[in-house]
């Protein structure tokens, strides 16, 4: 290739980039309100709740989630699967803006999908450019990309704060990097107090059972700031539709054994801190007779960092809070062997996990029997094996990862069980 041809190619590429930038800016400017949701956990739920409230207020809304199920949510509430030919990419957010512009949306609500710091900056400041950013929480996950301490993780999340932006964050999650980023960008930081939704809205015990209070507080803070009335906020919250990763409890009575079992979906919580919160919420709903909780840890082959995180936490003593712990998915034999070894000896003083309250009767099994590998080609086969070992009124708590086996199990639970307590 001669120099002239190379220069022509480079010039053509630069023209394309200029046209792409102009097209994105023109489409983005047609959307009056752009709002992004970042954080570790709860992003998809908050996106769905805020979008539902905005629709209830009569606005034309396009939203996108990225968590358990990547979806475009259209102005009429219908959902389209986000097409992917490879791994998730922040380029999807360009398609979101194009879709919102084509739908003549006046509101866009986007879940931030970046993990690596450089992607956070590009996704938020170059592509989405939101006027409002919601930060759900700061939890230890994606440790290799985001850091191991909450301060380090908050610093990465703060990269999603563009200039002159209004930022909403729960008071208890208001880490120093957020205030520094807002001050530097000339924006406004709104620390959302706990219990805001409960004080603002009519009594709604069904919402409090199905959704975490922090998510409701954030959605109420954002939408009330937009001038939406409490009645409309309450209506929108009740109309929100959720994805497969949503917390749920199902009751199942086996026709063969006549035993009753309860299935709890905590798969999408991912990190230990969020998982224990899901289990605590489930215990508020479950009947007193359902005191024996068995853990079902689902592992992913592409999330070795998360497997290591769970191995560390469970080996440090958290396994003692389950009657029995079943492990399934990638590296299950290796993980089970290490946990069996840890279960065979008491955790040293000071290392035992205290994040999860103890459940009476959960430590009755001998150490060698507490950890097992769950195999099966189908979710039905796995559950048949598991339930054969479980007593009446037992609880199966699924956690670790929703992708893969977790998704199959939740779909199976929904098919054979009935929603309980929600």
**Of the listed ranges 110-114, 197-201, 359-363, the one predicted with least confidence:** 359-363
Does 210 or 123 have the greater pLDDT score?
123
Residue 214 to residue 227: CA distance in whole angstroms: 20
Read off the pTM.
Answer: 0.87
CA nearest to 177, candidates 202, 160, 164, 197: 160
Q: What is the model's pLDDT at position 347?
A: 52
Alpha helices in 34-165 (DSSP H): 43-56, 92-102, 117-121, 143-146, 150-157
* Residue 75 reports pLDDT greater than 50: yes
**Of the listed ranges 26-40, 64-78, 248-262, 368-382, the one predicted with least confidence:** 368-382
pLDDT band at 366; cut points 50, 70, 90: very low
Angle between helical axes of 3-29 and 92-102 (0-180°, round to 10): 50
* Residue 257 reports pLDDT greater than 70: yes
**Of the listed ranges 68-72, 144-148, 183-187, 339-343, the one predicted with least confidence:** 339-343
- Indicate the domain borders of the chain: 24-239, 248-342+357-419
How much is the average pLDDT of 384-392? Answer: 93
User: 400-417, pLDDT tens digit by residue?
Assistant: 999 899 999 999 999 999
Does 141 or 101 have the greater pLDDT score?
101
**What percentage of the chain reaches a pLDDT higher than 70?**
89
Q: What is the model's pLDDT at position 8?
A: 67
How much is the average pLDDT of 247-271? Answer: 94
Q: Dihedral sign, CA of 164, 169, 174, 175? A: negative
How much is the average pLDDT of 320-345? Answer: 84
Q: What is the model's pLDDT at position 305?
A: 83
Cβ 65 vs Cβ 77: under 8 Å: no
CATH code assigned to 248-342+357-419: 3.90.190.20
Q: What is the model's pLDDT at position 367?
A: 52
CA nearest to 53, candidates 255, 247, 276, 237: 237
How much is the average pLDDT of 175-194? Answer: 96
Does 117 or 132 have the greater pLDDT score?
132
DSSP state for residue 148 in the 8-state scheme: S
What one-character-per-residue DSSP string does 335-392 give? HHHHHHHHHTSPPPTTTS--SS---TTTT-S-GGGSEEE---SSHHHHHHHHHHTPPT
Q: How many residues does the chain have?
A: 422
Q: What is the model's pLDDT at position 22?
A: 66
Q: Average pLDDT of the chain?
A: 88
pLDDT band at 345; cut points 50, 70, 90: low
pLDDT band at 346; cut points 50, 70, 90: low
Residue 240 to residue 256: CA distance in whole angstroms: 37
The rounded radius of gyration (Å) of the Cα atoms in the chain is 23
How much is the average pLDDT of 127-144? Answer: 92
Does 270 or 3 have the greater pLDDT score?
270
Does 119 or 188 have the greater pLDDT score?
188
Which range scores top for mean pLDDT: 298-307, 336-345, 365-374?
298-307
How much is the average pLDDT of 342-350? Answer: 58
The fourth-level CATH superfamily of domain 24-239 is: Mur-like, catalytic domain (3.40.1190.10)
Does 206 or 127 have the greater pLDDT score?
127
What one-character-per-residue DSSP string does 251-319 give? EEE-TTT--EEEEEEEGGG-SHHHHHHHHHHHHHHS-TT---EEEEEEE-TT-HHHHHHHHHHHHTTGG
Q: What is the model's pLDDT at position 340?
A: 80
* Residue 360 reports pLDDT greater than 90: no
* Residue 149 reports pLDDT greater than 80: yes
* Residue 362 reports pLDDT greater than 60: no
């Amino acid at each position: 290739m001669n120099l002239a041809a190379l220069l022509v190619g480079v010039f053509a590429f630069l023209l394309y980039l200029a046209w792409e930038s102009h097209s994105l800016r023109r489409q983005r400017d047609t959307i009056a309100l752009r709002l992004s949701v970042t954080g570790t956990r709860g992003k998809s739920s908050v996106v769905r709740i805020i979008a539902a409230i905005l629709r209830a207020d009569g606005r034309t809304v396009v939203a996108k989630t990225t968590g358990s199920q990547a979806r475009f949510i259209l102005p009429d509430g219908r959902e389209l699967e986000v097409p992917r030919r490879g791994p998730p990419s922040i380029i999807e957010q360009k398609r979101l803006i194009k879709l919102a512009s084509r739908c003549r949306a006046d509101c866009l609500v986007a879940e931030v999908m970046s993990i690596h710091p450089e992607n956070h900056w590009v996704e938020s400041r170059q592509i989405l450019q939101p006027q409002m950013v919601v930060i759900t929480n700061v939890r230890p996950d994606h440790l290799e990309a985001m850091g191991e301490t909450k301060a380090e993780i908050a610093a990465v999340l703060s990269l999603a704060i563009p200039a002159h932006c209004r930022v909403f964050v729960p008071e208890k999650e208001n880490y120093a990097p957020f205030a520094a980023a807002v001050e530097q960008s000339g924006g406004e930081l709104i620390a959302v107090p706990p219990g805001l939704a409960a004080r603002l809205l009519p009594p709604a015990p069904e919402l409090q059972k199905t959704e975490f209070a922090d998510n409701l507080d954030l959605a109420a803070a954002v939408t009330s700031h937009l001038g939406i009335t409490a009645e409309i906020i309450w209506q929108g919250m009740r109309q929100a539709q959720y994805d497969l990763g949503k917390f749920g409890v199902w009751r199942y009575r086996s026709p063969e054994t006549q035993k009753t079992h309860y299935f709890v979906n905590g798969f999408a919580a991912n990190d230990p801190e969020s998982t224990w919160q899901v289990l605590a919420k489930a215990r508020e709903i479950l009947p007193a007779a359902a005191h024996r909780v068995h853990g079902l840890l689902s592992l992913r082959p592409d999330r070795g960092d998360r497997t290591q995180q769970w191995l560390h936490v469970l080996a440090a003593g958290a396994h003692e809070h389950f009657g029995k712990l079943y492990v399934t998915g990638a590296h299950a034999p290796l993980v089970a062997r290490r946990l069996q070894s840890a279960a065979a000896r008491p955790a040293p003083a000071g290392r035992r996990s205290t994040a999860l309250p103890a459940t009476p009767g959960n430590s009755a099994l001998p150490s060698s029997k507490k950890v097992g590998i769950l195999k099966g080609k189908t979710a039905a086969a796995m559950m048949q094996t598991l339930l054969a070992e479980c007593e009446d009124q037992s609880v199966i708590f699924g956690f670790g990862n929703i992708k893969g086996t977790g998704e199959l199990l939740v779909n199976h639970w929904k098919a054979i069980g009935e929603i309980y307590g929600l």
